């Protein structure tokens, strides 16, 4: 754990260790596997383009924060693109059918959970993605998302409850 004010460089050699976790978090944020791949790739390109100093975050916390910023940039550019084309209608990119080599029922349930997660309001979706999907602690998620730890706990509770209701477990 870093001492307050202590800085260290993000290690490009180990940054790739978190790619699967970031992909799962990106899927939870955007609801699209293809877009999630693009977001993770863009995040790594931006982060690894130049040396990064970490002040309070661990590598994963920093990368989740960078992923969230990439997602926000994507949303802004989509909003601008839609406004400039003035088409009005835009179909969201749905998640493709999920398959699993194991239990098909488990695969369907996981698909339902990801679909429900994609429908959450953005603050809840980000909290659930950071803690339950990316595996960050409440403190790490708080720093990565720029909100208080109590806010993370509240959003996480509400987000989990909405997901449970959506999949019929409430």
The CATH number of whichever domain residue 122 belongs to comes to: 1.20.140
Is residue 115 included in any domain, yes or no? yes
Quote the CA–CA distance of 168 and 134 in Å, as a whole number: 24
Three-state secondary-structure class, residue 54: strand
Is residue 51 included in any domain, yes or no? yes
Quote the CA–CA distance of 161 and 170 in Å, as a whole number: 7
Quote the CA–CA distance of 170 and 162 in Å, as a whole number: 8
Three-state secondary-structure class, residue 9: strand
Q: In what helix (H) or strand (E) does residue 38 lie, and over which residues does it extend?
A: helix 33-48
Is residue 2 included in any domain, yes or no? no
Token pair listed for 63? 């990368």
- Domain extent for 142: 8-166
- Count how many domains the chain has: 1
Nearest CA-CA partner of 127 in 99, 98, 100, 161: 161
Walking along the chain (170 residues) 10 residues at a time, the average pLDDT comes out as 67 86 88 89 89 80 88 82 62 43 59 80 89 86 90 93 82
Check: CB of residue 114 under 8 Å from CB of residue 31.
yes
User: Torsions phi, psi of 9, nearest 5?
Assistant: -85, 145
Quote the CA–CA distance of 146 and 121 in Å, as a whole number: 17
Is residue 91 included in any domain, yes or no? yes
Is residue 84 included in any domain, yes or no? yes
Q: Which residues pair with 9 in a beta bridge?
A: 53
pLDDT for residue 107: 59
Residue found by looking up tokens 């601008």 in the block: 80
Is residue 75 included in any domain, yes or no? yes
Statement: the pTM of the whole predicted model exceeds 0.75: no
pLDDT for residue 168: 82
Quote the CA–CA distance of 135 and 140 in Å, as a whole number: 9
Is residue 113 included in any domain, yes or no? yes
Is residue 3 included in any domain, yes or no? no
């Amino acid at each position: 754990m870093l001492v307050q004010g202590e800085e260290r460089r993000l290690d490009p050699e180990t940054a790739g260790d978190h790619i699967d976790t970031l992909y799962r978090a990106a899927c939870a944020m955007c609801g699209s596997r293809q877009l999630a791949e693009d977001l993770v790739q863009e995040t790594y390109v931006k982060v690894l383009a130049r040396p990064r100093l970490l002040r309070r975050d661990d590598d994963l916390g920093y990368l989740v924060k960078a992923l969230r910023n990439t997602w926000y940039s994507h949303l802004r550019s989509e909003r601008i693109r839609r406004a400039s084309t003035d088409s009005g209608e835009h179909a969201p990119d749905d998640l493709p059918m999920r398959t699993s080599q194991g239990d098909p029922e488990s695969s369907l349930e996981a698909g339902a959970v990801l679909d429900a997660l994609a429908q959450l309001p953005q603050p809840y979706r980000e909290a659930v993605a950071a803690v339950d999907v990316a595996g960050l602690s409440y403190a790490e998620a708080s720093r990565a998302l720029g909100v208080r730890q109590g806010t993370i706990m509240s959003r996480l509770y509400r987000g989990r409850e909405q997901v449970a209701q959506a999949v019929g477990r409430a």
